[in-house]
Chain A
Amino acid sequence: EAGVAQSPRYKIIEKRQSVAFWCNPISGHATLYWYQQILGQGPKLLIQFQNNGVVDDSQLPKDRFSAERLKGVDSTLKIQPAKLEDSAVYLCASSFDRPYEQYFGPGTRLTVT
């Protein structure tokens, strides 16, 4: 089966600019996750969707981050405006249901200068 797809793979922006990431989960996976992984740290859950509804966004900095999952399939994560501390790898993951194995995408490496 095809894996979790993410784009772009790399992005360099200046602080205060905006950026958006896209994720296409494995077909049939109801649960979708966005994580932020800062270099040398474990992934930090930003938001979790069950189908197209948000079930956990407690660690999402809502003043600058937003995410949506239209039609319960693809998802986008947006940062506006970006700060230097947002430099990280943004990982998307999906699972058939919860709590089951999460399959991770290749990630988007964001550098904010």
Chain B
Amino acid sequence: GENVEQHPSTLSVQEGDSAVIKCTYSDSASNYFPWYKQELGKRPQLIIDIRSNVGEKKDQRIAVTLNKTAKHFSLHITETQPEDSAVYFCAASTGGFKTIFGAGTRLFVKA
């Protein structure tokens, strides 16, 4: 079946460094790619999303890039802060249908 692979599963960075999380999807019809942040015991919250007609999108310290040919997309967080520590999930959907989430990346930002 369709799936989304996410790497790494765990990422530890020093405060102020950058963090990169990568995802690969299998369904070539996927056209919407959101990223969610989930803090311990809390609900997932959207932090940024990108559609297939765009190659890159940026919002302050967060950016997402999409390579449709290779079917992968990445989340970039610059100038990381301790409050960025959380689990990050990528997802892929086709027109808002069949949303598939990756397994998650646990990000630790060390002060």
Question: Are A and B interaction partners?
Answer: yes
Contact A31 B102 (CB under 8 A): no
Distance in angstroms from A35 CB to nearest chain B CB is: 8
User: Contacts A43-B89, A101-B49, A102-B34 known; A91 to B43 CB distance under 8 Å?
Assistant: yes
Count of chain A residues with a beta carbon within 8 Å of a chain B beta carbon? 24
Overall SS of chain B's interface:
strand
Q: Which residues of A contact B49 (CB under 8 A)?
A: 101
Q: Contacts A43-B89, A106-B43: A100 and B96 contacting too (C-beta < 8 A)?
A: yes
Grouping DSSP codes into helix (H, G, I), strand (E, B) and loop, the A interface class, with mixed when no group exceeds half, is loop
Q: How large is the interface on B (under 10, 10 to 19, 20 to 34, 35 or more residues)?
A: 20 to 34
B45 touches A104 (CB 8 A): yes
Which residue in A42, A58, A101, A102 is a CB contact (below 8 Å) of B103?
A42
**For the complex, what is the distance from the CA of A31 to the CA of B44, rounded to whole Å?**
17
Do A95 and B43 contact each other (CB < 8 Å), given the known contacts A42-B89, A42-B104, A44-B101? Answer: no
Cβ-defined contact, B95 with A98, below 8 A: yes
Within 8 A of A (CB), among B37-95: 42-46, 49, 51, 89, 91, 93, 95
- Report whether B98 and A45 are in contact in the complex, using a CB–CB cutoff of 8 Å: yes
* Set of chain A residues within 8 Å of B18, measured between Cβ atoms: none
Given A95-B96, A101-B34, A43 contacting B46 (CB threshold 8 A): no
Q: Which residues of A contact B43 (CB under 8 A)?
A: 91, 104-107
